[in-house]
Structure 1
């Protein structure tokens, strides 16, 4: 019997752990939202957690399997596309619960529209330079600063602190991803800059989960 060899062990394992943790954390968050918010709040946190599980699941699959160039490219497109989905998914409870009213729904529609463009972009040009992807994700993520005063007024400064911390961690990870530290990666073949990027993403997801759990749900 042919044994399966994981393509990128460090990347696959880190995001498999993140996927399992996200799946385990979903029910408590939905339960909490159900006790303190209406149906729209439950729907918002469900979208948030679904996007997180999809992102880490897609990443795990892409970094685990080396089937054929064609299949690998499809998995890569799905993996990269899910980043835009996670960003929009994170905005969903922020907009619906943290902002609410007309402003929240306008921002939500705008972010999901941009996410759709991001997915389309990655499907058409998944091999684009890393800095292009990083800039796209960072700009999309930091759009929330335009509504920061309204979010702080509705959700509180502590919630904004978790939001800001997550954004900084995601941005730091994007910088690592864009720099392509060849010398560092040569010295750390099993756990290089891409794996560090994964850890930053996991830390960012944790911060945003805590924001939603403690202050929005």
Structure 2
């Protein structure tokens, strides 16, 4: 029995190391999948906004002799925003910044559209327009929630792959740090309201 003891101890140690490394990998895979699912939720919320913008623009076109440049700016910003894609498996800070910048353009042009609408009393009273405006406000809240949940999913993933000794194996298994959603440059400044 004594001559098998070193073999038994060696097998237990190897099995223990295998289980430990397997746990590191499987946890990283699970956390990565959560990040990807959260990114899908962000994209779904932005897609809903893009769909609503199309309906909003058509309603405004039909209800008023509207400034064409404002409508064109909204349509172009929407097209630019939908052309940017981010790979959820390799989310980088650069990709998120580019995506965020495009979405910021949509928000900016949409704000100009809504401010310009104030000049048209008939449009402001249009039930379709009011309903779309309410849905758009609700969608903006959904976008905020989806972005927050995305960042909440990224944090445990990044923490897991960056802590020692997990960091030793994360690179071997191909796990890379994922970027957080950041606000657009200048978002910390208060909005200037003029009457």
Q: Structure 2-normalised TM-score? A: 0.40
- Structure with bigger helix share is 1
TM-score scaled by length of structure 1 = 0.36
Larger radius of gyration: 2
